Amino acid sequence: MVGTAALIPAYDAAASLAPVVAGARAVVGTVLVVDDGSRDDTAAVAARAGAEVLRHETNRGKGAALLTGLRALAARGVERAVTLDADGQHLPEEIPRLLAAAEATPGAIVVGVRQKAGFTIRRAARLGNWVADALLRVIAGAPLPDTQSGFRVYPVAATLALGARGARFDFETEVLLRAARRGMPIVGVPVRVHYPPPAERVSHYRPWVDTLRVVATVLRVLADRRAAPLCCLIAFR
């Protein structure tokens, strides 16, 4: 049984992926990349860097890639998955901070709260993050940590049991909301990140479309009568 593996959803990330894989391997050893229908050499780059690779033949979305990876890790008996974005935003050397928090609060979802001071972030992207965070704060009755951060530690089996099914960027918001409703601990840990200059930055997040998708997903979860009432332990370290 493998205790922890890194999981990296990737789409057209050949230019940035290799150092992310190498950095994660240096910390946790096992790295799984889910190539979400890339049109470039993402899969080959990941394999050369030492990752195991699963591939979607067509682009299905970040959430779908995360679910594919989590299910594959569960089948191997992996207990925890550290998720990182493929664009280099998340620094692998920060992984131990997240794992320490996971050890301190067993069964928690640990979220890397991105420290963005000093970086130029597009106004639309800031708005999308603010809307998602504010909406979840109202619903959960407490601030949820950086709801759009993809730098996380998931307890694999417990996360899959939540039943989140958002196929795109809404997955990461939905899983926190479902965790809050189940009483699963959610821990936020401040982490350093890297943002290249705006002109060099590649993002597949569409602020308006994906923010509306997040809102629709939240409403769908709230309408699910089978879901438990909101009750969560949210901590910041």
SS3 assignment, position 5: strand
pLDDT tens figures, 122-175: 554 555 556 556 666 655 555 666 888 999 999 999 999 999 988 887 898 889
- pLDDT, tens digit (0-9, with 9 covering 90-100), for 204-214: 566 656 666 66
User: Among 64, 84, 77, which residue's Cα sits nearest to residue 7?
Assistant: 84
Q: Which amino acid is at 78?
A: V
Q: CB burial class (10 A; 0-12, 13-18, 19+) of residue 123? A: exposed
CATH fold of the domain at 4-236: Spore Coat Polysaccharide Biosynthesis Protein SpsA; Chain A (3.90.550)
Whether residue 103 has pLDDT greater than 50: yes
Q: Where are the domains of the chain?
A: 4-236
Checking if the pLDDT of 92 tops 70, the result is: yes
Starting at the edge strand that comes first in sequence, how are the strands of the sheet with 80-83 ordered? 52-56, 31-36, 4-10, 80-83, 152-155, 109-115, 186-192, 234-236
Over range 88-109, report the average pLDDT.
95
How far, in Å, CA of 76 to CA of 205, rounded? 31
Cα 200 from Cα 105, distance rounded (Å): 38
Query: CB count, 10 Å around CB of 215?
Result: 15
Q: Contact 184/161 with Cβ under 8 angstroms?
A: no
- Does the pLDDT of residue 194 top 50, yes or no? yes
| pLDDT given at position 219 | 67
